[in-house]
Amino acid sequence: MFLKFLINITLCFFILSCSSNLNNENNMTQNINKTSPQSAYIKAMQKFDNKNIAESIIIFENIIKIYPLSNESIQSQIMLGFIDYSRLDYESAIIKFTKLIKKYPSLKNADYVYYMKALCYYEQISHESLDGKYNYLALENLNQVINRYPKSEYAKDSYQKIILVNSNIAAKHMTIGRFYQKEEKYTAALNRYRLVIENFSETKFTPEAVYRMSEIYYSIGMIEESTKMARILAYNYPDSEWYKFSYNNLTKDNKKSIFSRSISKFFIK
């Protein structure tokens, strides 16, 4: 009997709460009908700034419904996407930003929308050996910002993030390459290192990739190829620790048997 009483009381509170929320939403809708889209948007932003996110969402959504052709309607859609982003609901945010891009291709602040969409992918990259698809999706969308809006305030930050994403992808290739090398699957390892050298030369992993190729060639007796890679290291990265490793590898047994004089002189001692 007492349990039934508790259930009834709880149910009453739930109904009253729902009724109160519904009345609150209806009141805000009626108020928006009586004001301009500009005033409604200002009010929504005030709610947002004061951390009244739920109420700001209601106003933004009502602006979109009541004033669909207004500039405030577009800005409200952007804000709803940003709210999803700030809640880490990246999937919903991406959907909203994508719709905005398709619906308003000549939007005045489209650079911001493209940038926010790129951030949604970028912030889902958690580790170089995981989330491979987010590396490439982030790279694709960050490049969109730079290519479409090279003078935008968001282009510079997008470029910096591209460097980090490329470094992330290069790190992944290096991890796989090292694994193949350890397993003596040299062709597969060489292909990974070559990818780093050719496609991610601006990253910090390039000297190591060149060294690893030299190391593999040396280990399978291809001294000429190993020396060629060592030359690349010496010319481009003379102060690199990987160059020093390469020099040690190629000179540790018998310098005269491996190098001609001209090649020996090429190395910095």
CB 76 within 8 A of CB 63: yes
- Residues 129-165 have pLDDT tens digits of 545 789 999 999 999 999 999 999 999 999 999 999 9
Examine the pLDDT at 121 and tell me if it is beyond 90.
yes
What percentage of the chain reaches a pLDDT higher than 90?
64
Report how far residue 196's alpha carbon sits from residue 243's, in angstroms, rounded to the nearest whole number: 17
Look at residue 247 in the predicted model and tell me its pLDDT: 66
Residue (of 38, 76, 84) closest to 60 by Cα position? 76
The alpha helices in the chain, defined as continuous H runs, are 2-33, 37-49, 53-66, 71-86, 90-103, 110-122, 132-148, 153-182, 186-199, 206-219, 223-236, 241-251, 255-258, 261-266
Q: How confident is the model at residue 252 (pLDDT cuts 50, 70, 90)?
A: low
Note the pLDDT of residue 131.
Answer: 52
Q: Say if residue 72's pLDDT is above 90.
A: yes
* Structural domain spans, the chain: 22-87
pLDDT at 116: 98
pLDDT in tens, 155-214: 999 999 999 999 989 999 999 999 999 999 999 999 999 999 999 998 999 999 999 999
The token duo for 71 is 């500039």
- Helices 71-86 & 110-122 angle (0-180, nearest 10): 10
Task: Dump pLDDT digits (tens) for 12-48.
Answer: 454 444 444 444 555 555 555 668 999 999 999 999 9
- pLDDT of 32 reads 57
